[in-house]
Amino acid sequence: MATRHPRAAKSLVWFAAFVCTILAVTVIIAGVVVLSVYFAYRPKIPFLRVGDAHLDRLGYDQSGLLDLAMSLTVEAVNDNGRAHATFSGVELQLRFGRTPLAALLAEDFDVPKNSTQRLRYAVESSAAPLDEAGRERMDESLKSGRVEFALAGKARTRWRVALISVKFWTHLDCTLPFLYPAGDSADDLLHCTSKSH
């Protein structure tokens, strides 16, 4: 039966301790670098918001079919003063009640520091069938002169400083209110943003 020499075992323990010490120092140095960059740049998470919207056309018949045209501008905002931002995987959905009306997508794009990129959409949806709850809601909306649609979705954002790259998901979930029949957006449209408050 083979036995390990005590001296060899002691050397192995010292080697393992040395490697662990190097790893610990490396992690500490990396943490200091990340914190230094954070405090130097004060990064802010880029976000989405609705810039403006107009209900260009709204057709609805008693069989529950909805026909609409909407002009919509979504803004990608980068408030970082020292870092560019990248937006990718932009996927938004426009709905009335539970009925999906349109998917709003965008290719990956960059937003320079302290800048805003505008995404303009001309939304068209025809003969979208509303369920019973949707028909009741539309009838009430037309009588009250205020029609509300839902806009929800997400985008992946990234900002990069030197060798540090930080990624986040930003989620948009809000209501788009319009005055009917004028089609103008109501004042509370300005609160449609994915920024955390």
Tokens 């954002």 label which residue? 157
Q: Where are the domains of the chain?
A: 1-41, 47-191
Tell me if residue 118 falls in helix, strand or coil.
Answer: strand
pLDDT for 197 equals 45
What's the average pLDDT block by block, 10 residues per block, for the chain (197 residues)? 59 80 82 61 84 95 94 95 92 96 97 96 95 95 95 93 80 94 83 76
> Rounded distance, CA 20 to CA 55, Å?
63
Closest CA to 116 of 80, 151, 92, 88: 80
Buried b (16+ CB within 10 A) or exposed e, 158-168: bbebeeeebee
pLDDT for 174 equals 92
Peptide bond into 46 cis (omega under 30): no
Q: Which residues pair with 76 in a beta bridge?
A: 48, 117
pLDDT for 159 equals 84
pLDDT for 162 equals 65
What is the pTM (predicted TM-score) of this model?
Answer: 0.78
What's the CATH code, domain 47-191?
A: 2.60.40
